[in-house]
Structure 1
């Protein structure tokens, strides 16, 4: 994500540490924080739930006196209202600033979106969508990246209807974050209480049989659903189609196998359940932005 030149030209730089530029609309406030020098033990909290997303540089986040992690560009973090953050800026410099976007969203907007989802995008087995599991740290997918980039533009745009535009984008952002949160829960059943429903059985089956032919027909039978209903329910709850989910899991496995420089790529794509080298190459490059061969060579180089 990039800040527009218009933003950089018009914001006021009054502090070298967590300089704040804020734009406020009906259901959200967008804060852009910039730090231009190394700093430690900087405290920050918001009155509303917030989605923080790194733009440039690196932060070290400390939450609840327990959770500590590095926060990099392309990653986001969802926090509840009044959560106290303690932040270090180990690499911030005047010519290498750390920049972060913080989107504070009203709880009423989140509740409205949850009601919309429960009515129009119901979960499997008639369960309700609930609030996001806060302190949810994740890598932005393409869709969330594009929404955040669009919001950066909309908040700074001088347009009479921008409240309406932002409201629509906020609803999509909340939905996609909830779906990402749901997907993480399915993939990591120790992440919170195990999910005992038909989709959890399907996800578990996919993980244990990733090397086999996983057709929609087979998976829908495992879920005791028709193919069309299974496809719809799966995408509603996890935010991706079953095929995209399977491919992402296969590429995740492939990146692990390719750490071994002696593994042949032919063996890797077959172990990951791909039926052809050309399709494997295409999916791998889409996910990793690099070919399998170059990825393997790069890993070998770093291990020297």
Structure 2
């Protein structure tokens, strides 16, 4: 069985096989009927390079870093092991501060048609409907930037590997991979939507009351029976609503929110990693480090070194 290579290694293999036609955003298209996979290589420093998206555009860094500029003065650093999603009919401007011919900046993108997004959304509404108080799943993924999980990183590696290495089943790999990416984006949007509901009206539904309680008590052990009573539903219904809407159990949701919060705290650099671990309720820094590595594929110290 072939071992899937890292995105950094795949970027090198890709560049070995492609003669650049230009030094900034040299694009190579690996075509498919379902979605368009492209790899962009940049070999010299540049600023404010325009990238427009007609359809939803999913971006993943392979090597180097970019500075992404959006509407309203939005600006953020974009690094490997992160996802950046550009909404349909939108754009970003990109800086390439470190790109050189010896150390090019390489990024992969997946352009996902609206029809593909809508088809999977319709499946979600049929098979995993949200609580009626919260409406339906909607294919309205906005601009999004986050440190993605190790599972998402492995998924991207598998997709790119299948095309760079010209595997026979690459179209099938892309079909399953794009569907999983869309599902992950919808789950992320549902978490964001629920957290917004919590901030506006935590009593909107039993699920929002449960999420509000978890969010307000991230550092405390979770009493699932007490959470079910707070949400006015049975334990089994509570688990069902969490699974259908968020794709995880209440305990797993709390763990994910702790680690997402940890990313923000570490990135700010205000507190030490040890202080972050205790503030978020982890029993000790070693336990925190193991959990962080399981989710993001790197230790908290490795994550912090990217920013400080």
Asked if TM exceeds 0.5, the reply is yes
Within 5 Å, give how 1:1-304 maps onto structure 2: 1-4=7-10, 6-125=13-132, 127-187=135-195, 196-250=204-258, 269=278, 272-273=280-281, 277=284, 281-288=286-293, 289-290=298-299
- How far, CA to CA, are the matches of 1:52 and 1:76 in structure 2? 6
Tell me, yes or no, if the aligned pair for 1:13 and 1:19 is still in contact at 8 Å: yes
Which structure has the bigger radius of gyration? Answer: 1
Q: Can you give the 5+ residue segments of structure 2 that lack an aligned partner in the other structure?
A: 1-6
Deviations 1:185-236 (A, max 9, x none): 3345599x76733222212111222343312222222223322232232133
Cα offsets for 1:267-287 (capped at 9, x unmatched): 974x6445x55xx73344221
Deviation string, structure 1 residues 121-156 (Cα, Å, up to 9, x no partner): 211236210023311111111222122111112333
Secondary structure in structure 2 of the residue aligned to 1:163: helix
Q: Is the 8 A contact 2:198 2:212 kept in 1?
A: no
Deviates more, 1:57-66 or 1:91-100: 57-66
The structural deviation recorded for 1:173 is 0.9
CA drift of 1:290 comes to 4.3
C-alpha deviations, 1:144-188, integer Å up to 9, x for none? Answer: 212211111233353454323321221111001111222233345
Q: Distance in 2 between matches of 1:94 and 1:132?
A: 38
Distance 2:13 2:201 in 1: 47
| Separation in 2, partners of 1:188, 1:137 | 17
Q: Tell me the distance in 2 between the aligned counterparts of 1:95 and 1:159.
A: 28
Question: Which stretch of the first structure deviates more once superposed, 8-17 or 167-176?
Answer: 8-17
- Measure, in 2, the Cα distance between the counterparts of 1:22 and 1:253: 36
Q: 3-state SS of the aligned residue for 1:102?
A: strand
Unaligned runs of 5+ in 1: none
Residue 260 to residue 27, structure 1, CA distance change in 2 (3 Å): closer
Query: How far apart, in 2, do the equivalents of 1:259 and 1:252 lie?
Result: 16
The Cα RMSD (Å) is: 3.2
Contact 1:24 1:30 in 2 (8 A): yes
Alignment TM-score, normalising by the size of structure 1: 0.81
SS in 2 for 1:205: helix
Deviation, structure 1 residue 116 = 0.8
CA–CA distance in structure 1, aligned partners of residues 42 and 78 of structure 2? 14
Question: Cα 1:54–1:239, aligned 2, differ >3 Å: closer, same or farther?
Answer: farther
